[in-house]
Amino acid sequence: MAPRDRNDADRTHPTAAARPARRDLLRMGGGALAATGLALTGCSGTGADGGGGEKGDPEKGRITVWSWQGPAAELKALVPDFNKTHPGIQVTVEDIGNPAIWEKITAGLAAGGQGLADVLHIGVDYLPGYVERFPGGLADLAPLGATAYRDSFAAGLWGTVSPDGKRVNALPWEANSAGFYYRADLFEEAGVDAEALQTWDETIEAGKVLKAKTGAHLLGLDKPASQPDAANFFQMLLQLQGTFYFDRDGRITLASPEAVKAMTLIKTMNDAGLVSDLSGGWNALMSSLEKGTNAVVPWPTWFGGIIEEQVPGEAGKWRVRLPPAVRRGGPTAATVNSTHLAVAGSSRHQAAAWSFVEHVLTRPASQVRIYRGKGIAPALMEAYDDSVFHEPSAFFGGQKKGEVFLAALKAPSPPVNYTADYSRALKLVTDAQTKVLLKGADPAAVLRDAAAELARQTGRKAAE
Amino acid sequence: MTLAKPLPAAARPRRRGRTAPYLFVLPALLLFAAFKLYPIGWSFLLSLHRTTGGTETFVGLDNYARLIDDPLLWTALRNTLVILAVQVPLMLALATGLAVALDSRLLKGRPLFRLGFFLPMVTGLVAYGIVFSVLLNKDYGLVNWLLGHVGADPVPWLTDGTWARISLGLALTWHYTGYNAVILLARLQTVPRELYDAAAVDGAGALTAFRHVTLPGLRPALLLTTVLSTIGTLQLFDEPTVLTGGGPDNATLTLGMYLYRNAFTYFDFGYASAVAYALTLLIGLLGLLQFRLLGGKQ
């Protein structure tokens, strides 16, 4: 048993101990009141001021911009340039982080715009959900002048930001095409010509040779779906067949023959031992690059810049091409995702916010600068006239990386209907993929179950 | 307050004395009303509505009816109950053992050990979740790297359903055992020494003394830690979110995560509120049950 003498110390001077305590209490009470006051005033404003008129002054005000990591850094770098022409607008760029930004925007929209930034960077996967669930949450950019840029962006993207052709919910920024980055040195060691691969079936056969001769996996997937983006590869295989989770009328196409084909390709690769596990998110992905675990990284345009940054020592070993087709002779180009800048409907500086959006997204010089900085591919077609997209890249063995993806952007790309239920569909798809990858489940069966569950959750009909 | 007759002068200070406590309580009450009471009431209203296309329609108990045949909800409930039935008793048993050890006079440098076991509790939930997920990564993690050195095969800590549950349990145990041990230790120190002396005189060994003196003495603290751990487990969110994202294939999906996902990923606030109320009901029932079973007389 422990000795109890410790307690005696507390008992020696009860009054001396009590007096400061009471004073502390009073001070705490005052502090709490002050905090309440602060909290209440903090709730009432959006943190910006100096607005005038309904949409505010296009040349004056303090605006806040929410984005994440690389894009946020590039936005920050553009501010001094923006202030040369718009000295009256003070821009604060906040790096919220991805995926944290989605839930932060959701919370802001659900609170009727309280605490929301003026300019929001939004991915194509979230845009329809925000628009449908929170009408008016994002400002209509058409009255601010967005309609003038209807034909400025890559094919299909205007339909994404303006589904009805009238209201403009956002303006496109990045347009990422499906890519196929590969380690040329490993392919050479295995005696396989990567450029000659026509279909994914051929690629799987090549993967077997690669694995036998070099020990490298063909590619990596987040098998237990530790991250929400674990189904990117599956999604790309769907888009290469011109389909998605929903058709254009919003009906569920999760159990379509195309989807089963895509999942079967994944299962075949995995059963042949060609797929490494990339669970653990970004860190695991970066470690796999450093370790050379995979010969192929089937990620879109923006990932080229990441590879260059992460493994600069491997300059010359990497190449890039568009992915092989799913069916022989089928498409090899797909715009797998795009991101956008939107203006909050609650913003008291919509005009000033629009000035910034316009400066960043519709001026080729801004987009070229962003591409040079972080390799973020613009949706703005005019930007591609710049020489930066036509320069040979030393890292990619003298290839003109920009032209590879420009070709994809110019190819016809059917619009993708994400719907407001994309996140529900995505969750069911990643679960289905996990069952296939970790438990060897039958692709057709798990997709059928997923489609049925999605129909139950959303009340949507299945296509066919 | 209206009074017909003016109060005698002598009563006035007394009356002011009576309102002062309420003034002191007021800030806390206001904060409670604004940040607890209001959301509690509002979420109940939300649970009776469904949002479609930005408009809220009253649907009565529809959201509650949806709960019944939602397979994911039952998966989440099952996962949560498994953690409750396996991890909580193990952790509390460990904490009891730890408390007895930390109380032992044989132990040198007791404050250091107590601090050491309590420190994990101070770690931020997300921070330790990330640390565990990095340590336990199958291909790039430290634990499997160390296991590799003794010739063991890599363990799929986070990529296999069963192992993911075990990993989650390990992380929870690491974080909360010391905390519970400190609560138990505080109670242990109030068990009168004489009881042990009396037990020794009666010929009781260490084990008998533990069973008949220590455990009954710990009873209130055990009840407290059990109830706290039960509530904590039912609301479990941070650890599985960071560690496994609820996966693989929903093996570590908890009710808290499912609620959050419905609200903030699927924007289905009505249904999420219904899940929240179901969860509250469950916590209330389990708490009541535990008080009945462990509370003893009184």
In-domain check, residue B124 = yes
pLDDT tens digits for range B45-60: 999 988 776 677 888 8
Residue A36 confidence (pLDDT) above 60: no
Whether residue B107 has pLDDT greater than 90:
no
Q: Which chain A residues are within 8 Å of B105, Cβ to Cβ?
A: 1-2
Q: Compute the nearest-CA separation of A120 from chain B (Å).
A: 17
Largest CA-CA distance found in chain A, in angstroms, rounded: 90
Task: Give the pLDDT band (50/70/90) at residue A88.
Answer: very high
Nearest C-alpha neighbor of B48 from the set B36, B66, B64, B67 = B64
* Domain membership flag for residue B208: yes
Task: Give A195-226 pLDDT, tens digit per residue.
Answer: 999 999 999 999 999 999 999 999 999 998 88
CB A388 within 8 A of CB A92: no
* B223 within domain boundaries: yes
> Which chain A residues have a beta carbon less than 8 Å from that of B250?
431
Specify the pLDDT at position A101. 93
Tell me the pLDDT band of A451, cut-offs 50, 70 and 90.
very high
CB A113 within 8 A of CB A345: yes
- Using a CB–CB cutoff of 8 Å, tell me whether B31 touches chain A: yes
Among A33, A41, A226, A276, pick the best mutation site for testing chain B contact (most B Cβ within 10 A): A226
Domain housing B233: 67-294
Answer yes or no: is B12 within a domain.
no
Q: Is B267 close to A129, i.e. CB distance below 8 A?
A: yes
Q: Which CATH number fits domain A61-176+337-390: 3.40.190.10, 1.10.10.10, 1.10.2020.10, 3.40.50.970?
A: 3.40.190.10
CATH for B148? 1.10.3720.10
CATH 3.20.20.70 for domain A180-332+421-458, yes or no, is no
What are the start and end residues of each CATH 3.40.190.10 domain in chain A?
61-176+337-390, 180-332+421-458
**Neighbouring C-beta atoms of residue A449, cutoff 10 Å:** 18
The number of helix segments (H) and strand segments (E) in chain B equals: 14, 2
Strands (DSSP E) along chain B, which ranges? 49-52, 55-58
Residues A135, B54: C-beta atoms closer than 8 Å = yes
Counted domains in chain B: 1
Tell if the CB–CB gap between B249 and A279 is shorter than 8 Å. no
The answer to whether residue B22 sits within a structural domain is: no
- Cross-chain Cβ contact B247/A226 below 8 Å: yes
Instruction: Give the nearest partner residue to B160 out of A102, A135, A438, using CB atoms.
Output: A438
Contacts of B17 (CB under 8 A, 6+ apart): none
Q: How confident is the model at residue A161 (pLDDT cuts 50, 70, 90)?
A: very high
d(CA A331, CA A239): 9
Measured between beta carbons, the chain B residues lying within 8 angstroms of A113 are none
CA–chain centroid gap for A268, Å, is: 28
Of the candidates A110, A223, A427, which has its C-beta nearest B159's C-beta? A223
User: Under DSSP, is residue A47 helix (H, G, I), strand (E, B) or coil?
Assistant: coil
CA–CA separation, A244 and B200 (whole Å): 75
**Is B267 touching A (CB cutoff 8 A)?**
yes
Nearest Cβ partner of A29 from B27, B30, B250? Answer: B27
Residues from chain B contacting residue A102 (CB–CB below 8 Å):
265
Answer whether B270's CB lies under 8 Å from B59's CB: yes
Find the closest chain B residue to A290 by CA distance. Answer: B140
**Residue B241 placed within a domain:** yes
Instruction: Give the list of residues 6+ apart from residue B243 with CB closer than 8 angstroms, or none.
Output: B129, B132, B133, B136, B158, B164, B167, B168, B171, B252
Q: Which pLDDT tens digit goes with each residue over B132-188?
A: 988 988 777 889 899 988 888 888 888 888 999 999 999 999 999 999 999 999 999
For B155-185, give one letter per residue: b (16+ CB within 10 A) or e: bbbbbbbebbbebbbebbbbbbbbbbbbbbb
SS3 A15: helix
Q: Can you tell me the ipTM of this complex? A: 0.75
% of chain B residues with pLDDT over 70: 92
In A113-216, where does DSSP find H-type helix?
Answer: 127-133, 157-161, 184-190, 200-214
pLDDT of the residue at A182: 96
Confidence at residue A22, expressed as pLDDT on a 0 to 100 scale = 39
Nearest to A60 by CA among A93, A86, A80, A78: A86
Query: How far apart are alpha carbons A219 and B280 in whole angstroms?
Result: 45
Exposed/middle/buried for residue B110 (C-beta within 10 Å: 0-12, 13-18, 19+): middle
Indicate whether B61 belongs to any domain: no
- Using one digit for the tens of pLDDT, what is the confidence trace for A39-76? 333 333 343 333 444 788 888 899 999 999 989 999 99
A287 φ, ψ (degrees, to nearest 5): -60, -40
3-class SS string, A122-133: EECCCHHHHHHH
pLDDT at A23 over 60: no
Q: Is residue B285 situated within a structural domain?
A: yes
